[in-house]
Amino acid sequence: MWTLIGPGLATIVGLFLVTAAYGTHRISAPGMKTGLVSPMAPALALSQADFSSAVIVTYLVAAVLALPVGALLGRRYPTAVTAPAIGIMILGALLVAFANATGMLAAGRSLGGVGAGATVGATAMLVGRLRDRRWPVAAVMAAAGFLALLSGPFVDQAMADALSWRWTFLAAEPLLLAALAASTVAGIVLLVTRRPVRPAPYGTPYMPPPYPPPGPRP
């Protein structure tokens, strides 16, 4: 159960970053589609098409491609998958926060999507191994993920109005660092406490059946 702290937190942050690129202001002008306007779009001079391709599509495509890989490898090696994936998310969020061009922005979102997809897949496998507590934990994770998706635009707009849209992604860094630390500690603890099975005599993992003592039989 406690091994889910790091991957679960990273999963929630990854879902938050899906919608954190949007704001809450809406655009409605003649000849233009009505929709949300991202605070980063005017700051980086992004058109609606550039924003969709570089920020949204890249993140979602990378996450979808990485999700089955994270699920497949995370079933047996959860820490070996989640720790590097969270590190990739940290790097991706930093690139987005300091992006000054479309290429850097797209690269950061791609890395973030890869890390988020792998983490979500590994977390799903960990939840599936909980047996009796599987469904309550899955319900809590689903509710937290939904709230993260829902709050993304509001947090981004509040950050943009108070400071800058870049702080939305910088604010995710401490949470990702905490998730990385929790995943690393969990992996170390599991590695140290795992006791190898010592084979019994005759190379068998169990004691051989008793034999009668040598000597004359009555």
pLDDT tens readout for residues 151-210: 999 998 899 889 999 999 999 999 999 999 998 888 788 778 765 555 555 555 555 555
**Does residue 203 lie in a domain region?**
no
**Does residue 18 lie in a domain region?**
yes
What is the rounded distance in angstroms from the CA atom of residue 74 to the CA atom of residue 76?
A: 5
Instruction: Tally the residues of the chain.
Output: 218
pLDDT higher than 60, residue 116: yes
Residue 93 belongs to domain with CATH number: 1.20.1250.20
- What is the pTM assigned to this prediction? 0.80
The mean per-residue pLDDT over the stretch 87-109 comes to 93
The rounded mean pLDDT for the chain is 83
**Which pLDDT does position 205 carry in this prediction?**
53
Torsional class of 184: left (φ above 0), alpha (ψ -120 to 50), beta (otherwise):
alpha
> How many domains in the chain?
1
Measured CA to CA in angstroms, residue 158 lies from 55, 74, 161, 162, 166 at distances of: 19, 36, 5, 6, 11
**Does residue 15 lie in a domain region?**
yes
pLDDT tens digit sequence for 123-163: 988 888 787 788 888 899 899 999 999 999 999 889 988 99
**Does residue 123 lie in a domain region?**
yes
Picking from 68, 170, 66, 166, the residue whose alpha carbon sits closest to that of residue 116 is 66
**Which pLDDT does position 172 carry in this prediction?**
94
* Beta partners for residue 35, in sequence order: 27
Q: Which domain holds residue 121?
A: 2-193
